[in-house]
Structure 1
Amino acid sequence: MGAPPKEAGHTEAVLRVTRHDGWRELTLNRPDRLNAFNADLHRALAAALDAAADDACRAVLLTGAGRGFCAGQDLGDRANMEGPPDLGAAIEAFYNPLVRRLRALRKPVVCAVNGVAAGAGANIALACDIVLAARSARFIQAFAKIGLVPDSGGTFFLPRLVGDARARALALLGTPVEAETAERWGLIWKAVDDAMLMEEARALAAHLATQPTQGLALMKAALNASPGNTLDAQLDLERDLQREAGRTADYREGVRAFMEKRPARFIGRRA
């Protein structure tokens, strides 16, 4: 999928962290397990997302190594457990905090889905802000195949993205959705030729890293709140967030650039 560009730093483990100018690329790196989550990968990704809150990082790209994005939970980790497992404890300790981190991060998160995204892996992709997928990629709500309930926000995201009828069928049947169908249904932003996926995803992350980061963070806050708000409450929230956005250096620069008919040079900070 193309050679990665030059990088300023690199960490090799269950998660690869590649630092670029203004943004970071996080690569799930358990390709022999289709990047299925275990406790080590959860901890590494949580630490990387927390580190990405640094002002020097203005966008994040999440992807997977090898032939798939993420197969969800590594069931091999649970094969030798004695007695009935407490799956709710794993969700509370790892998956719910991960989804909350992705949604709350005050900068855009792009997800590049290469190959399969199954179970929690599919829903973690949907928790990101902009999802690109290789045309060969598939999204699978695999929970019904092992008697479980969609988690990692699946029952929240699916009805809002594709409607109740499709959400119910996807959850109850576990039918794979091809990338082009996912784009047509509004499940993701865009399906991309396999060979172009990482080039386009990196270009998108690099672009977002030059944009008014505080304004984008406030957009995320407004969109996150929208499903639970009445129109009146959302109008009030927009007012409050717009007041905050109007006090940023990026707003002042944006107006100056518009008046001077030149490209804006956003710094991405509040002051």
Structure 2
Amino acid sequence: MTTEDVLLRADTDGVRTLTLNRPKAYNSMTVELKERLLAALREAAADTSVRAIVLTGAGKAFCAGQDLKEHVGLLQAGDEAPLRTVADHYNPIVRAIVEAPKPVIAAVNGPAAGAGAAFAYAADLRIAASSATFLMAFAGVGLGPDSGASWTLQRLVGYGRAAELMLLGRPVDATEALRIGLIAEVVADEDLTAKAHEVAAQLAAGPTAAYAGIKRTLSLAAESTLAEALAAEDAIQTALGGTADHREAVEAFVGKRKPRRLRG
């Protein structure tokens, strides 16, 4: 494991775990942490030895969203950087999660609020500790949603529920999050790290190119007509049909054996 001040990185079994590491501040996002997280996500996406990514937080929180102390301090100093942070940081971070050509798992170890919750929504899978909560806190500070939450949340739970959670700023605990489809699984707090790694390692051992194709197809279909979605499926399926992973998987199925992953 290497420590980069506010961000921890660990590689095991083809899985890169990125841990937000400001536990005393509930892993709230400073400019430094945003820049380091964005760089780390892009690096993990480009590294062929990394086949799955886990995003989690240190301590008792996943991520409390924007560090408002830094935000107010910069505004009071006349620095306009906070007004650019959505374009400079949050939007690129969410795109890096969504567009990563490999699975991204959010291991939500505690409260996730604002942009922190939005990072979890942007992940491909969300596994939560029983102590996890989700809060769309934007209206409480006089702001609208950012970090893609307006796009991701309603696709997970529907427009009506997303509007309720954003307008009322009502926290959602892990039990409710599972019931409404916001997360895939709830585990005991002490089991979260192992469970997230187990799922990520399973994905890391699978056909990465196919996973990238699935992610791309789903993203395209979410904002396209049926005809456009069918065309995208055709194009991506044709490309995947030429990969070594596909040939090996088909041969293994016919031969009634477990496939070897060739990563190509």
Q: TM-score, normalised by structure 2?
A: 0.95
Give the aligned residue type for 2:213.
L
Return the offset for 1:87: 4.6
Identity between Structure 1 and Structure 2 (%): 46
Match of 1:48 among 25, 40, 47: 40
Residue in 1 that maps onto 2:151: 156
Residue in 1 that maps onto 2:134: 139
Indicate if the aligned counterparts of 2:15 and 2:197 stay in contact, CA closer than 8 A: no
Q: Deviations over 1:3-43 (max 9, x none)?
A: xxxxxx42342000001131211000010110001111111
Indicate if the aligned counterparts of 2:16 and 2:54 stay in contact, CA closer than 8 A: yes
> What does residue range 230-245 of structure 1 map to in structure 2 within 5 Å?
230-245=225-240
Return the offset for 1:268: 2.2
Give the aligned residue type for 2:70.
D
The SS at the match of 1:27 is: strand
Residue in 2 that maps onto 1:63: 56
- Aligned-residue Cα RMSD (Å) equals 1.3
Indicate if the aligned counterparts of 1:24 and 1:57 stay in contact, CA closer than 8 A: yes
CA distance in 1, matches of 2:155, 2:121: 11
> What does residue range 43-122 of structure 1 map to in structure 2 within 5 Å?
43-52=35-44, 53-80=46-73, 81-82=75-76, 87-122=82-117
CA distance in 2, matches of 1:163, 1:88: 29
Return the offset for 1:88: 4.3
Residue in 2 that maps onto 1:30: 22
Indicate if the aligned counterparts of 1:11 and 1:18 stay in contact, CA closer than 8 A: no
Give the aligned residue type for 1:74.
D
Give the aligned residue type for 1:15.
L
Where structure 2 has 5 or more consecutive residues not aligned to the other structure, the ranges are none
Q: Deviations over 1:62-83 (max 9, x none)?
A: 1000000000000111222235
Give the aligned residue type for 1:252.
R
> What does residue range 163-174 of structure 1 map to in structure 2 within 5 Å?
163-174=158-169
Residue in 2 that maps onto 1:5: none
Q: Deviations over 1:134-173 (max 9, x none)?
A: 1111000011111111111111112211112211110011
Q: Deviations over 1:102-144 (max 9, x none)?
A: 0111000011001100011001111000000111110000111
The SS at the match of 1:68 is: coil
Return the offset for 1:85: 5.2
The SS at the match of 1:228 is: coil
Where structure 1 has 5 or more consecutive residues not aligned to the other structure, the ranges are 1-8
CA distance in 1, matches of 2:237, 2:148: 28
Indicate if the aligned counterparts of 2:71 and 2:82 stay in contact, CA closer than 8 A: no
Indicate if the aligned counterparts of 1:10 and 1:19 stay in contact, CA closer than 8 A: no
Return the offset for 1:243: 0.2
Give the aligned residue type for 2:33.
L
Indicate if the aligned counterparts of 1:112 and 1:201 stay in contact, CA closer than 8 A: yes
